[in-house]
Amino acid sequence: MAPGPTTVTILYDAFGRRDGLVQDWGFAALIEYQGRRILFDTGNNAVTFAQNVQRLHIDLKHLDLVVVSHRHSDHIAGLGVVLQEDPNVPVYAPREVFGIFGSSVPGTFYRAEPALPDSMRYFDGVVPGEIRGGTMWPAAHLIVVDSSQVIAPGIRIVALVSDVPGTRELRELSLVLATPTGSILIVGCSHPGIERILAAATAGGAPVRIVLGGLHLVAAPDSIVGPLVQRLHDQWRIAQVAPGHCTGEPAFAALLRKYGPDYLYAGVGERLDLP
């Protein structure tokens, strides 16, 4: 593994201290890791995403890959901007039946009724081998993912399905980057739960030492936030946190109290060097 830090530049979020950037609800980050440039999510508004990218002097023509964490619009709206710059970049996205990223189901997924006249039967009764789902980006190099997998040396995608009320059955991808001292975990919204994601990220591998992104605690009460922060620090042994997006202001405060100098400010426009 080549030496050098992993660098993460926050392109999209609703807080920050950099002049000239637009704050908006959503998330996007550019990750530079071992010579690869990875875009993780693309924000909530294509125009805002393009403006922030331009003002941060980010070149979208030379990305190695894109990871879209999940289907919510505050993470995918800028994907068209990316594809205008590089229509061939591989885009990893969660597999969902008839989801916006395209997928397929067997032609036998429905119950047939041969007694009906052909004019009342799907496909005139001639069942196709598979039925393809459409996508908003038909020309894109979409790679739909339904299981956790290594996609490049040191780079792993964790694929989980939320079982939390409100987002049940939502599929979400998180990114795990291996380093000599432990893994870096990058999350979009943590809809399946940050501890479930951590369990999957650490299964059979190195511990996670840094967590960056949205923890989905934006409306959680203190009775949930406080114990979770404690477990992240004491049980999961997370050494540093760089929370953003849907983590929520009370959770920002609780994490800052617990982590002190190991709390990494990750507002829009920030460039973080992660050793």
Reported as a single tens digit per residue, the pLDDT across 118-172 is 999 999 999 999 998 889 899 999 999 999 999 999 999 999 999 988 888 899 9
The predicted structure's pLDDT at residue 167: 85
6-101+137-274: what CATH class?
alpha beta
pLDDT confidence of residue 103: 82
Name the band, by pLDDT with cuts 50, 70 and 90, for residue 3. low
* 22-55: b (≥16 Cβ within 10 Å) or e: bbbebbbbbbbbbeebbbbbbbbbbebbbebbee
| In the chain, % of residues over pLDDT 90 | 87
Annotated domain spans of the chain: 6-101+137-274
- What whole-number distance in Å separates Cα of residue 52 and Cα of residue 170? 28
pLDDT at residue number 46: 98
pLDDT digits (tens, 9 = 90+) for 77-108: 999 999 999 999 999 999 988 889 988 889 98
Q: What is the mean pLDDT of residues 198-212?
A: 94
Q: Which range is least confidently modeled, 2-11, 36-45, 218-227?
A: 2-11
Write the CA distances from 68 to 21, 53, 225, 238, integer angstroms: 22, 17, 26, 24
